[in-house]
Chains A and B, each alone.
Chain A
């Protein structure tokens, strides 16, 4: 499997263009990264799920968790391929984040609003991937807002803006493919504008 091919250099412009577009889905365990990739990609997604440990079993009734990566792809015209990678959520697999983040075109951070300090978690992921993906190609999707109303989307925006992270923060339910497509629509729109500005 090719992991490192991508459309852009780290933090950079749209140079070194290959025909692979790599988008990384990251976030804490149980945020819905595997579900999101499966909702959008064609055919079977590749997952490295294992039964969840007793210590981690509290998260949203999950029985399986990703320990390596999730992978799905969508073939676009002209041999372009959108490659979706999901990172493992646990801190002990952090070494995978750099491997998967290298050369990524865009980043989707998924948050689980039922977990303690979800905004802090988002900050952590955005910072961890900032060396690979520019902030202008990052988007945040917040799940379980219907059952856990706080922190609100406004609270996310305020805290992230205070750190200079002016990223879109959207309420999503990644079980709905339209919500995942919304995240990608925003990401593609941001990249498109960035590309146009570079041309001018």
Chain B
């Protein structure tokens, strides 16, 4: 089945059909809901039909019953069908198409880690290339996220928890249209960096595979406050600002979980805070030899730092 919605009609009033066609065209051009109209029922995955009547459509097809007047409270013909009240308007058509979109994707359940990785990759590419413009990214739920790489803001009606759930697929980014200009003013804004660092945490917690990074890296600059708010991040930043280290060395020295270290480095690379630095391989080898054996979270620290560091962290709830 196609990723978007292919919409058709059968036996509904001609007026409803014309309105629906116009609305779908508007949605496609304006809010990028990934829907198109088709006269060929066999290729449709959403078909609008009258309230009454038995229809045999192909198995993956979602039926939307068009309810006129006083029948709006009546139960729809089959419990699996969706319904929409006539006259068809932009708001109720958007609502039913969002439900249909969720059902289409419900047939192939989302992989949250894949969703998070896709979002991280998208943000990373735009941030890394310093592409100073805005991009609209359609989301499978029928909503969209607008990234403003100039103002470093994210505009979306989706709650951030939903954005960070990864339970979606992302569409192809496109430039902001006039309709979306209006939308930006009406939906909440969030910090792009905050989203990126929260995404980093989620990916680390989920154990998402980070790209392979060989060689040594160092931080040119400390991350900002939001980037240091997570356990282990100040420690990683202190190590990588002190000198260039490989991920293996970090694993051995830091006492910070490997996934946390990898995603921390990825984000620092995206933000231009970290660079590859293999200028002194001898120094790296020396560090390797001097490092304690790879060990658990606390062992990395307790083997090296005096006890009062640990006590101070515990007492003041430092991280």
Contacts and interface: CB of A to CB of B under 8 A. Distances in A.
Contacts of A166: 221, 241
Interface string A178-193: 1101101110111111
B242 A192 contact: no
Contacts of B238: 186, 189-190, 192-193
Interface stretch (B117-125, B173-181, B261-269, B303-311): B303-311
B317 A181 contact: yes
Interface of A: 14, 21, 40, 74-78, 80, 82, 136, 153, 157, 161, 166-172, 178-179, 181-182, 184-186, 188-197, 199-200
B235 A192 contact: yes
A168 B317 CA distance: 20
A80 B306 CA distance: 12
B312 A189 contact: no
A184 B316 contact: yes
A170 B225 contact: yes
B312 A168 contact: no
What's the interface size class on B, roughly?
20 to 34
B189 to A, nearest CB: 14
Nearest to B289: A200
Contacts of A14: 306
Interface in B218-238: 221-222, 224-225, 228-229, 234-235, 237-238
Contact of B308 (A80, A172, A179, A200): A80
A contact face: mostly helix, strand, loop, or mixed? helix
B311 A184 contact: no
Given A186-B222, A189-B237, 14 more contacts: A14-B306, A76-B308, A136-B242, A170-B228, A172-B225, A182-B229, A186-B228, A188-B309, A188-B313, A192-B238, A193-B239, A195-B304, A200-B287, A200-B290
A31 B11 CA distance: 71
Given A186-B237, A193-B239, A169 B305 contact: no
A189 B304 contact: no
Interface string B58-90: 000000000000000000000000000000000
- Specify which of A168, A178, A194, A196 lies most central, judged by the most chain B CB atoms within 10 Å of its CB: A196
B14 interface: no
B315 interface: yes
B301 interface: yes
A189 B235 CA distance: 5
B225 A184 contact: no
A74 B314 CA distance: 12
A189 B253 CA distance: 13
B319 interface: yes
Nearest to A161: B221
Contacts of A182: 225, 228-229, 234
Given A179-B225, A195-B306, A185 B253 contact: no
Closest 8 CB pairs of A and B: A168-B222, A189-B234, A189-B238, A185-B318, A200-B290, A170-B225, A77-B311, A193-B238
Nearest to B306: A195
Contacts of B319: 181, 185
Contacts of A196: 253, 304-305
A80 B310 CA distance: 12
Contacts of A157: 221-222
Contact of B312 (A80, A153, A169): A80
Nearest to B318: A185
A175 B287 CA distance: 40
Contacts of A82: 312, 315-316
Nearest to B241: A166
Contacts of B239: 193
